[in-house]
């Protein structure tokens, strides 16, 4: 499938002509297209089989170029600018109110916006007259892609600009600034919670609330009763009536409604050393448990940054390894980036009923 790789110039040309291209970012690969063009966005949803109620993040070259699409009150603007200056370009997404005059028609009343740091992505954005709508470049629900070949394997035929392995290996941290006096963390990500918490506390004396991750039970129930998809070009506030069974909290971030990050093979999160199941592969760090038929070490030293960088790579490899029939994960530390890793793994394992 070599033919799916494209050069920088080709990627730029395709994007200018409203085609979809998979691009490297510093977090994970994104499936990108002109955010102002509804048919391009439709193609992204189709390729990913993404439920239409789940909006895409919009990527800009700079916070200045977001001005025409967003609308903030003065307090919101102050916090937005400070966070932008502190963390952009980088793995932070801010959810802010959309400017009603924005040309981003296929988006709800709020936008998730970010300035990515990857030099190829930045260079593309610099040469385009529009921002790029881009979700992670994986089929909806599956593992995120941190290398170009992950995209080639799971979204065959999609042109991919290869930028090497993604630096962070985890998606951006998402902070909701719709109510600036009460910022909320919607998704744990590559920037640890504590970093944003202390930033906001030191600069504005406001604390960052954390939106509780969905319980495993709740996630399982979604499989039986998936939320209705109602995307018709625009997500309107009134459409939220379809979600009457969900609390307002959950509706803050539609992506949390979905089961996510799941390998195809069953996966269990271990609580400690245990007997392996036949054909079970182990995702390890530090000293691996004994008795597992294949082992992927995320970091021999147990360095959290290295573990994050290699997490999806390890899951992809074990998932593709024909001699491995199911996956086990050693118990992760829960501090700092560990909480993001755990959240991804818990969501990835929640669809499977394997007892420890």
Which CB atom, from 35 or from 95, has the smaller least distance to ligand TXA?
95
Which CB atom, from 258 or from 330, has the smaller least distance to Mg ion?
258
φ, ψ of residue 271 in degrees (nearest 5): -100, -15
Q: For the CA atoms of the chain, what is the radius of gyration?
A: 20
User: Is residue 340 part of the contact set for ligand TXA (CB under 6 A)?
Assistant: no
Give SS3 for 126.
helix
Q: Which of 25, 136, 339, 346 binds Mg ion (CB under 5 A)?
A: 136
Exposure class string for 279-298: b at 16+ Cβ within 10 A, else e: ebbbbbbeeebeebeebbbb
- Number of CB atoms found within 10 A of residue 309's CB: 21
CB of 224 to ligand TXA, least distance (A): 21
Question: Of all residues in this chain, which one has the CB nearest to ligand TXA in the complex?
Answer: 255
In 166-292, which residue ranges form alpha helices assigned H by DSSP? 193-204, 216-224, 248-251
Exposure class string for 231-241: b at 16+ Cβ within 10 A, else e: beeebeeebbe
User: Is residue 112 part of the contact set for ligand TXA (CB under 6 A)?
Assistant: yes
User: Is residue 30 part of the contact set for ligand TXA (CB under 6 A)?
Assistant: yes
Cα 203 from Cα 199, distance rounded (Å): 6
User: Is residue 146 part of the contact set for ligand TXA (CB under 6 A)?
Assistant: no
Bridge-based pairing of strands 92-97 and 110-114 is antiparallel
CB of 322 to ligand TXA, least distance (A): 28
55 binds, among Mg ion, ligand TXA, none (CB under 5 to 8 A by kind): ligand TXA
Count of residues interacting with ligand TXA (CB under 6 A): 25
User: Is residue 28 part of the contact set for ligand TXA (CB under 6 A)?
Assistant: yes
Contacts to ligand TXA by CB under 6 A: 25, 27-28, 30, 54-57, 91, 93, 95, 108, 110-112, 134-136, 171-172, 174, 186, 253-255
Contacts to Mg ion by CB under 5 A: 136
């Amino acid at each position: 499938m070599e033919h799916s790789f494209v050069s920088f110039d080709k990627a730029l040309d395709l994007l200018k002509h409203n085609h979809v291209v998979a691009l490297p970012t510093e977090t994970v690969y994104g499936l990108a297209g002109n955010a102002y063009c509804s048919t391009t966005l439709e193609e992204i949803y189709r390729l990913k089989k993404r439920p239409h109620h789940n909006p895409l993040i919009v990527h800009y070259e700079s916070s200045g170029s977001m001005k025409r699409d967003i609308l903030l009150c003065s307090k919101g603007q102050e916090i937005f600018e400070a966070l932008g200056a502190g963390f952009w370009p980088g793995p932070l997404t801010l959810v802010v109110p959309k400017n009603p005059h924005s040309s981003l028609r296929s988006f709800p009343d709020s936008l998730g916006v970010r300035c990515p740091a990857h030099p190829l992505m930045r260079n593309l954005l610099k040469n385009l007259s529009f921002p790029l709508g881009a979700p992670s470049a994986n089929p909806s629900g599956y593992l995120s892609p941190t290398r170009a070949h992950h995209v080639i394997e799971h979204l065959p035929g999609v042109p991919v600009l290869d930028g090497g392995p993604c630096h962070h290996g985890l998606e951006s941290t998402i902070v909701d600034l719709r109510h600036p006096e009460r910022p909320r963390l919607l998704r744990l990500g590559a920037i640890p919670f504590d970093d944003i918490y202390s930033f906001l506390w030191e600069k504005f004396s406001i604390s960052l609330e954390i939106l509780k991750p969905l319980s495993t039970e709740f996630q399982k129930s979604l499989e039986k009763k998936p939320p209705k998809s109602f995307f018709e070009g625009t997500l309107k506030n009134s459409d939220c009536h379809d979600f009457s069974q969900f609390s307002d909290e959950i509706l803050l971030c539609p992506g949390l409604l979905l089961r996510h990050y799941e390998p195809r093979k069953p996966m269990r999160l271990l609580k400690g050393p245990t007997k392996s199941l036949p054909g079970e592969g182990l995702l390890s760090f530090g000293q691996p448990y004994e008795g597992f038929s294949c082992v992927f070490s995320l970091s021999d030293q147990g360095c959290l940054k290295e573990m994050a960088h290699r997490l999806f790579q390890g899951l992809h490899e074990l998932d593709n390894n024909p001699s491995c029939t199911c996956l086990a994960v050693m118990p992760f530390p829960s501090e700092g980036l560990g909480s993001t890793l755990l959240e991804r793994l818990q969501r990835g394992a929640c669809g499977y009923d394997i007892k420890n």
